[in-house]
Amino acid sequence: MSESHGSESTQHLPVIEKAVESELGQSASAADYKPLPVLEEADDAEGRFWSARRIPAGILALLVAAGAGLLLYDVVAVRADRPAMHWRRSLAHELAERPLDDTWVLVGAGVATALGVWLLVLAATPGLRDVLPMRRAHADVRAGLHRGAAAMVLRDRAMEVSGVRSVRVRVGRRKVDVRAVSHFRELDDVRADLDATLADGIRGLGLARRPALSVHVARPGRKG
């Protein structure tokens, strides 16, 4: 007596595929990174520090003082019945004879215009781009943090993350760019830890306007 066996049904097991890394060894999530919500600009953002512009102001003051002193000396000499300086007579003669479309006249006008625009830009812009304003703890005290110091602090925090071999941090006024190299662990895991660590680090800097965060994690390049 033979025992009949029913046909066994085969069940396909789900296949778990590992995310394929790009040729550069960078995870796709790192390439499509969006800033964390906690790093948006604060409502109590302070304005930038204004530079004293000591070097341009000093150069301009010296030039104006030298020109005014020379012109005043020549005017006094003429009032004392002495001949005017040769440069003033030559300048008056050239201005009287040269047409407005002369090459040297146009060059001089262009240089004067460029210097004027440069001075206007210096007067209208704050300067001190390397100093990031910090939140005010007291109404009568303002503090600032140098971008290089902020980058050093964030770099030290990033090096504490497991799997990070090296890291470069560039701190701007609106964005912090972090490029890390990881020699072990999954890139997505390293990037997630960097996100949390650096977000906390930026929050701890006490900046008045928190910059956005961009994190890129890659594998070390092949030697040879």
Give me the residue spans of the domains in the chain: 28-48+142-218, 54-124
pLDDT of 6 > 60? The answer is: no
The tens digit of pLDDT for each residue in 92-134 reads 788 788 888 888 888 988 998 998 898 888 777 777 788 888 8
The per-residue pLDDT for 202 is 93
- Better-scored residue on pLDDT, 118 or 13: 118
- Better-scored residue on pLDDT, 205 or 81: 205
Q: How many whole angstroms separate alpha carbon 194 and alpha carbon 50?
A: 34
Q: Could you tell me whether strands 212-218 and 175-182 are parallel, antiparallel, or unpaired per DSSP bridges?
A: parallel
What is the model's pTM? 0.59
The tens digit of pLDDT for each residue in 207-220 reads 888 899 999 999 98
Report, at the CATH architecture level, how domain 28-48+142-218 is classified. 2-Layer Sandwich (3.30)
Which residue, among 185, 175, 156, 183, has the nearest Cα to 215 in the 3D structure? Answer: 175
The per-residue pLDDT for 223 is 63
For the CA atoms of 129, 130, 136, 141, the dihedral, rounded to the nearest 10 degrees, stands at: -90
Q: What is the mean pLDDT of residues 183-191?
A: 91
The per-residue pLDDT for 46 is 63
The per-residue pLDDT for 93 is 82
The tens digit of pLDDT for each residue in 148-162 reads 999 999 999 999 999
The per-residue pLDDT for 114 is 93
In the chain, the percentage of residues whose pLDDT exceeds 70 is 78
The tens digit of pLDDT for each residue in 35-60 reads 444 444 444 456 777 777 778 778 88
Q: In the structure encoding, which two tokens stand for residue 99, read together?
A: 């047409």
The per-residue pLDDT for 32 is 45
Q: Which long-range contacts (CB under 8 A, 24 or more apart) does 69-76 make?
A: none
What rounded mean pLDDT belongs to the chain? 78
